[in-house]
Amino acid sequence: MAYLIQLKTFKDERGRLTPIDRVLPFDIKRLYYINDITDAANRGGHLHYETIEALFCVHGSFTVVINNGKTREEFFLSDPAECLIVEPLDWHMMYNFSPGAILMGVSSTHYDHSDYEHAEPQIAR
Instruction: Reduce the DSSP state of residue 56 to 3 states and report it.
Output: strand
Contact by Cβ (8 Å): 67, 91: yes
Mark whether 46 is an active-site residue.
yes
User: Which pTM was predicted?
Assistant: 0.94
CATH number at residue 42: 2.60.120.10
Asked if residue 4 is part of any domain, the answer here is no
Asked if residue 68 is part of any domain, the answer here is yes
Structural domain total, the chain:
1
Per-residue pLDDT of the chain (125 residues), as tens digits, is 999 999 999 999 999 999 998 999 999 999 999 999 988 899 999 999 999 999 999 999 999 999 999 999 999 999 999 999 999 999 999 999 999 999 999 999 999 999 999 999 998 76
CB atoms closer than 10 angstroms to residue 92: 23
- Confidence at residue 106, expressed as pLDDT on a 0 to 100 scale: 98
- Confidence at residue 125, expressed as pLDDT on a 0 to 100 scale: 66
Asked if residue 121 is part of any domain, the answer here is no
Asked if residue 96 is part of any domain, the answer here is yes
- Confidence at residue 39, expressed as pLDDT on a 0 to 100 scale: 83
- Confidence at residue 59, expressed as pLDDT on a 0 to 100 scale: 98
Of the listed 46, 48, 92, 118, which one is catalytic?
A: 46
Asked if residue 9 is part of any domain, the answer here is no
41: containing domain: 26-110
